Amino acid sequence: MNPFLNFKSFWVYALLVTLLVPSLACTYKPAYLQKGKTAEVSERWRVERINPSTLSPEEKSVFETLGPPQYIRFFRKLSLDRDRVYAWVYTDPVRFISFIDGKKIDYVVVDDDPSPFNEYQRKTMFWAGITTIAAVGLGVLYYYFFVRE
């Protein structure tokens, strides 16, 4: 029998895919940043090249006025929505220009935590996970002690 079709190995492969696929999407690098290096600060990139054709009109006007930023930093807006905030950092003179969905924002309260979930959603997911694990564990115990012959 083909080992890939074996029922137990199927679950091992399914578990591996479940654990590895989400890690592939865990980058918040903006699409318009063609070439950039990660900086020593988390979720911050040193800009080497930006593709101006993918910028929004407001980003493009800042880009044409001030040139490319030295750094781009990713934050989340401190709200229930947790919108993505990209801060363009200019070092000479020091300027921070923030964008949410390509729109320039003059003032925004940001959070360093890059998670898209607010505190309530995180607690809900935690307790849902605990409940699911407990239900599956009880189901397995019931099967092994009462149903299996």
pLDDT tens digits for 34-67?
A: 566 676 777 778 888 888 888 999 999 999 999 9
Pairing between β-strand 110-111 and β-strand 94-100 as defined by DSSP bridges: unpaired
- Residues 71/48, Cβ–Cβ less than 8 Å: no
- Stated pTM of the model: 0.66
Q: How many C-beta atoms lie closer than 10 Å to residue 16's C-beta?
A: 10
**pLDDT per position as a tens digit, 108-142:** 998 878 888 888 888 999 999 999 999 999 988 88
